[in-house]
Amino acid sequence: MSTIFGKILRGEIPADIVYEDEQCIAFRDINAVAPMHVLVIPRREIARLDEMTEADEPLVGHLLRVATLVAKHEGYPDFRMVVNNGAGASQTVWHLHVHVIGGRSLSWPPG
Ligand code: AMP
């Protein structure tokens, strides 16, 4: 099932893309919760984190590595990554995405 992120991947709707390669793209969240709020998504349409298999471990690692490089490139050595998995965890778009957030003080525990 395609989502709004699938439309971004196919270039059907615009996005502020900050990075892309053969496995993933990263773009700014349309409703940023911090000065830096980027989403890193795989090109493959995977609905949620718990659909990943052992074979996907390199892809998961790649997403985290890209997210880290994006944060550093944006000038935020301190950052947070979030993956919401399921409606009860506030997932709203059913295409796996890593939130990369930084540029303000981030408290713990999260809401
Ligand atoms: P989640 O609640 O974890 O599923 O996060 C989905 C995120 O996608 C939210 O932070 C939204 O603001 C963001 N979002 C939804 N539509 C777009 C869009 N067209 N471009 C960029 N970000 C989007």
Question: d(Cα 101, Cα 2) in Å, to the nearest integer?
Answer: 25
Pocket test of ligand 1: the residue of 4, 18, 81, 91 to mutate, having most ligand atoms within 8 Å of its CB, is 4
Contact 63, 97 (CB under 8 A): no
Instruction: Write the CATH number for 32.
Output: 3.30.428.10
Active site residues: 97
Pocket test of ligand 1: the residue of 5, 41, 84 to mutate, having most ligand atoms within 8 Å of its CB, is 5
Does a structural domain hold residue 16? yes
- Per-residue pLDDT of 48-107, as tens digits, reads 999 999 999 999 999 999 999 999 999 999 999 999 999 999 999 999 999 999 999 999
- Identify the domain containing residue 25 by its residue range: 4-102
For the chain, how many structural domains are there in total? 1
Q: Is the pTM of this model over 0.85?
A: yes
Contact 110, 82 (CB under 8 A): yes
Burial class from Cβ neighbours inside 10 Å (0-12, 13-18, 19+) for residue 56 reads middle
Once rounded to an integer, what is the mean pLDDT over residues 2-27?
97
Does a structural domain hold residue 8? yes
Does a structural domain hold residue 84? yes
pLDDT of 22 strictly over 80: yes
